[in-house]
Chain A
Amino acid sequence: MEQPLTQNIRPDRPPLNLTEYENAGGYQGLRKALTQLSPGEVTQLVLEANLRGRGGAGFPTGRKWSFVPMGDDAPQPKYLVINADEMEPATFKDRLLLEGDPHQLIEGIIIAAYAVQAGIAYIFLRRAYVTASQRLKTAIDEAYAKGYLGRNILGSGFNLELYLHTSAGRYICGEETALLNALEGKRAIPRSKPPFPPMVGLWGKPTTFNNVETICNVPHIIRRGPVWFKSLSRVPDGGTKIYGASGKVRRPGAWELPMGVSIREILEEHAGGMQDGLSLRAFLPGGASTDMLTAEHLDVPMDFTSMQEAGSRLGTGTIVVIDDRTCIVGLLGNLMQFFAQESCGWCTPCREGLAWLAKILNAIEQGRGKPEDIDHLRLHTRLITLGRTFCALAPGAMEPLQSGLMYFEDDFKRHIHEKRCPWR
């Protein structure tokens, strides 16, 4: 099984420096892109590879790049922003790549910037990733010293400045238009769309966003081709995927596996199954804002299309396992408290709605729930939807709640009837 993204990563040693990375085949994709391919040809290869965005939405990366205005008439400068905010609860896959192989990310950034002809790139990194920040700074300095960043890279005439921006916290920064405001030094409140960032983004200029894991795939696609990339996957979406598992499994962790492995394979073979005496009751397949699924879905392949058909989303691919000794109502209360607290406060359904839902859930958990609360909760999952809110934060918060109500309504009823949490 090939693992291109993690091939250089060993947990017991620091990441490869620039020379070691080159000796392992690094920066050859960059060399090929800048000396043999046009920007359009780079985009075409990524399109043919069927690389879909690993930040959660799964949008085809090549198509995203094709929206950027090109040619002499295009507004300048153009920007590339790498979303390394990774604040979706239970997600720790990009940390692995950021800490483990920073040059792989930098090589991908330079190639992506070349494809969209961006002259300035920012890595937007979350505050908590201190080790990643130190390692990225070192790697960026090395890349400048070697001439992979700066002016006239590899004699191609292409120029790129790369900056690391370390955030000061807030989940909403992961929303790309909120991230634009954060980078501009403002409160991270989403912007209305249209206009869309590929046309009008940072300081009004064309801006392309990509997730860390997405960009780390790019050097490999350029070097080894789309046919090879698609052969890594068990489904039509190309490549491998970093999957993860947390909760009461024997070996929580993150693993690079073919796109489309089953949930059972991830949890049983890689996470080692449930801890002794516990059984799996449910799981969140791809972070806090994905619909809960149950044991009957264990054989669903973990890819964008299959997860959607099962009623959830691949999201970030990092699974939260919920065992039979963990209270689902309490867990949903914890999730809702998170979303309510992290609401930027800009639109009413999110600012007011999530806080009330958190209160209701916590009241039920503490034995103060009323029978009609269940209908209130359910009504809100139908009211707080895309189109009624300014961004996807609050609708994302409804995903675990609506599925929790669908699969585990009896748990809610027991709390209300017994006036206590039966799991405590």
Chain B
Amino acid sequence: MLNEQEIKEIEAVAGHYPMKRAAGIDALKIVQKHRGWISDEILNQVADVLDMSATDLDAVATFYNFIFRRPVGRHVILVCDSVSCWIMGYDTIADHLQHRLGIGFGETTNDGRFTLLPNVCLGACDRAPVMMIDDQLYGDLDAEKIDKILASYD
């Protein structure tokens, strides 16, 4: 069930637009911040709050990269695979991450710690290769640095 805090945040952001349904993306992100991902049950409830159909909201949810319709780990790793990072050694760091975590892209570690996702350009090409973990950006990556970074997450 959506809690009061979530409903309050959704209604506040809905005030930024002339139509409630425009806040769909914001609303899903608010709920995801609290719950990690968007279950069918929650999607239906958010749609109710926004006076729209769940099908319409799901069409939106499945279009955007950062709305997760499946459970994810405690931390989401986004690895940039676009051109500057590709030149600067994306292949090596992508291999290292998969090997170190024991999972492929789109998968979550057994302990629920990390989900590994590919991502388009993160806009930090002067520090390539880069990745983000949750809201934190990491640049100038190599295998050694990645190991240190991973160790700092619980």
Whether a CB of chain B sits under 8 angstroms from the CB of A60 is: no
Q: Is the CB of B123 within 8 A of A126?
A: yes
Bound state CA distance, A12 and B17, in angstroms? 37
Q: Is the CB of A185 within 8 A of B88?
A: no
Among listed A36-44, A83-91, A144-152, A411-419, interface-contacting one: A83-91
Pick from B18, B63, B120: contact of A171, CB below 8 A. B120
Q: Is the CB of B82 within 8 A of A288?
A: yes
Q: Is the CB of A168 within 8 A of B29?
A: yes
- Say yes or no: A92-B126 contact (C-beta < 8 A), given A170-B65, A185-B22, A338-B82: yes
Q: Is the CB of A92 within 8 A of B124?
A: yes
Which A residues are CB-close (under 8 A) to B124? Answer: 92, 95
Q: Which of A311-367 contact B (CB under 8 A)?
A: 318, 320, 322-323, 326, 330-331, 334-335, 338, 341-342, 344
Whether a CB of chain B sits under 8 angstroms from the CB of A18 is: no
Determine how close the nearest CB of chain B comes to the CB of A323; give it in whole angstroms: 8
Which B residues are CB-close (under 8 A) to A129? Answer: 123
- Say yes or no: A87-B123 contact (C-beta < 8 A), given A163-B16, A246-B128, A338-B82: yes
Bound state CA distance, A247 and B129, in angstroms? 10
Among listed A1-9, A67-75, A223-231, A248-256, interface-contacting one: A248-256
Closest-by-CB residue of A relative to B122 is A128
- Say yes or no: A326-B87 contact (C-beta < 8 A), given A168-B65, A169-B64: yes
Which B residues are CB-close (under 8 A) to A187? Answer: 59-60, 63
Whether a CB of chain B sits under 8 angstroms from the CB of A186 is: yes
Pick from A92, A170, A252, A320: contact of B83, CB below 8 A. A320
Which A residues are CB-close (under 8 A) to B25? Answer: 167-168, 182, 185
Q: Is the CB of B21 within 8 A of A185?
A: yes
Q: Which of B22-52 contact A (CB under 8 A)?
A: 22-26, 28-29
> How does the 8 Å CB contact mask read for A152-192 relative to B, with 1 for contact and 0 for none?
00000000000101111111000000000011111110000
Closest-by-CB residue of A relative to B59 is A187
Q: Is the CB of A128 within 8 A of B67?
A: no
Determine how close the nearest CB of chain A comes to the CB of B49; give it in whole angstroms: 13
Closest-by-CB residue of B relative to A247 is B87
- Say yes or no: A334-B65 contact (C-beta < 8 A), given A165-B26, A185-B22, A203-B18: no
Whether a CB of chain A sits under 8 angstroms from the CB of B84 is: yes
Whether a CB of chain B sits under 8 angstroms from the CB of A32 is: no
On chain A, the number of residues with a Cβ less than 8 Å from chain B's Cβ atoms is: 54
Q: Is the CB of B83 within 8 A of A335?
A: yes
Q: Is the CB of B63 within 8 A of A247?
A: no
Q: Which of A368-395 contact B (CB under 8 A)?
A: none
Determine how close the nearest CB of chain A comes to the CB of B48; give it in whole angstroms: 15
Determine how close the nearest CB of chain B comes to the CB of A162; give it in whole angstroms: 10
Whether a CB of chain B sits under 8 angstroms from the CB of A295 is: no
Q: Is the CB of A167 within 8 A of B64?
A: yes
Which B residues are CB-close (under 8 A) to A168? Answer: 25, 28-29, 64-67
Determine how close the nearest CB of chain B comes to the CB of A423; give it in whole angstroms: 12
Bound state CA distance, A322 and B119, in angstroms? 21
Which A residues are CB-close (under 8 A) to B103? Answer: none
Q: Which of A253-295 contact B (CB under 8 A)?
A: 253-254, 284, 288
Closest-by-CB residue of A relative to B126 is A252
Whether a CB of chain A sits under 8 angstroms from the CB of B125 is: yes
Whether a CB of chain A sits under 8 angstroms from the CB of B135 is: yes
Bound state CA distance, A386 and B63, in angstroms? 24
Closest-by-CB residue of A relative to B84 is A246
Closest-by-CB residue of B relative to A189 is B63
Which A residues are CB-close (under 8 A) to B60? Answer: 185-187
Determine how close the nearest CB of chain B comes to the CB of A134; give it in whole angstroms: 9
Pick from A86, A165, A170, A341: contact of B16, CB below 8 A. A165
Determine how close the nearest CB of chain B comes to the CB of A198; give it in whole angstroms: 19
Bound state CA distance, A184 and B24, in angstroms? 9
Whether a CB of chain B sits under 8 angstroms from the CB of A244 is: yes
Whether a CB of chain A sits under 8 angstroms from the CB of B19 is: yes
- Say yes or no: A86-B86 contact (C-beta < 8 A), given A185-B23, A185-B25: no
Which A residues are CB-close (under 8 A) to B19? Answer: 184-185, 203
Which A residues are CB-close (under 8 A) to B17? Answer: 183-185
Whether a CB of chain B sits under 8 angstroms from the CB of A127 is: yes
Whether a CB of chain B sits under 8 angstroms from the CB of A130 is: yes
Q: Which of B85-140 contact A (CB under 8 A)?
A: 86-88, 119-128, 132, 135-137
Q: Is the CB of A91 within 8 A of B126?
A: no
Q: Is the CB of A331 within 8 A of B87?
A: yes
Closest-by-CB residue of A relative to B27 is A185
- Say yes or no: A334-B83 contact (C-beta < 8 A), given A92-B126, A170-B65: yes
Minimum-distance CB pairs A-B, first 4: A169-B65, A168-B64, A246-B125, A185-B22
User: What is the interface of chain A, defined by CB distance below 8 A to chain B?
Assistant: 86-92, 95, 122, 126-131, 163, 165-171, 182-188, 203, 244-248, 252-254, 284, 288, 318, 320, 322-323, 326, 330-331, 334-335, 338, 341-342, 344
15 A-B residue contacts at CB 8 Å?
Answer: A90-B125, A92-B125, A128-B119, A166-B26, A166-B29, A169-B120, A170-B63, A185-B24, A185-B25, A246-B126, A252-B125, A334-B86, A338-B81, A342-B120, A344-B63
